Amino acid sequence: MSAHRTVGAVGSRALLHLVIVLACLVWLLPALGLLVSSLRPAAAVASTGWWTVLATPFDWTQYTLENYHHVLVQDQLGRSFLNSVLIAVPSTVLPVLVAAFAAFAFAWLRFPGRDALMLTVVGLLVVPLQTTFIPILRLYSQWGLAGTFLGLWLAHTGYGLPFAIYLLRNFFSALPRDLFESAYIDGASPLTAFFRLALPMSTPALASLIIFQFLWVWNDLLVALIYVGGSPGVAPLTVRLSSLVGSYGQEWHVLTAAAFVTMIVPLSVFFALQRYFVRGILAGAVKG
């Protein structure tokens, strides 16, 4: 009987591993095809598929970096890349910083209207972004924030705060209460407890939130397109890439190079912080 159970367990693990490998291949194949196509000249892209890279013997002469030089230098994608960095980094730091303070207050401080405010924050999660574009854009036009980095920072911060507060508040609420009570007995202030206890123990949740916020801001097209308007000097990669699609049409070798440039930073951020990702998401869902 135990032998049958052992065989069944091995078979289940093998099936699970097979499903995981297949899922990884399905996820990786488009990115691999994009990378290979971005390294091929126009004639090769038009005549053969990217999977010819698997043919033997491998011919290095069929691949070039000219496509990347074209989009980074001639199409000034390098400037748009810098704009995306200047937009994404503050738009990630600001909501995470503000949300950390707010989430700690909602989890551990007592003040009038705390529950009502928390319900309001949760309710904001279901408000469509599209309903806010016109009134905020009018305010931006009056205040001179339209087409500026500051305007995009404030917009992404406001849009990201409800989810950030909700996630971190759930995580902070699950931290050991005895630890904070002991700190307060020893004379620690709420600010000290926040910096010395809450933040060091919240690394997985903070890393997960940073991944979510950074990827959302970096890949955003709609918000940037609305608030940047006719300011090409502030336009991020997504806005520039959308204009390249219209400009180049069927020149896939150039478009694939531009698209892969936009993927480099998000992939780097995800793989750098992925060990915290699952732990942070699960921990944030334990208690609410």
Q: What is the pLDDT tens value at each position of the chain, 288 positions in all?
A: 455 566 566 667 878 888 888 888 888 888 888 888 888 887 777 777 777 777 767 667 677 788 888 777 777 778 888 899 999 999 999 999 999 999 999 988 888 888 899 899 888 888 888 899 999 999 999 998 888 999 999 999 999 999 999 989 988 888 888 888 888 888 888 888 888 888 888 888 888 888 889 989 999 989 998 998 767 788 888 888 887 766 555 666 777 888 888 888 888 887 777 776 666 555 544 444
Residue 136's pLDDT is 93
DSSP result, 212-223: HHHHHHHH--HH
**Amino acid in the structure at residue 9:** A
User: How far from the centroid of its chain's Cα atoms is residue 169's Cα?
Assistant: 20
* Total length of the chain: 288
List all residues 6 or more positions away from 53 whose beta carbon is below 8 Å from its beta carbon: 36
Are 239 and 80 in contact by the 8 Å Cβ rule? The answer is yes
Residue 185's pLDDT is 84
User: How far from the centroid of its chain's Cα atoms is residue 110's Cα?
Assistant: 33
Residue 80's pLDDT is 86
User: How far from the centroid of its chain's Cα atoms is residue 26's Cα?
Assistant: 21
**Taking the complete model, does pTM exceed 0.75, yes or no?**
yes
What is the maximum alpha-carbon separation in the chain?
77
Q: Which two three-digit tokens encode residue 10?
A: 């091995």
Residue 66's pLDDT is 82
For residues 145 and 148, what is the distance between their CA atoms, to the nearest angstrom?
6
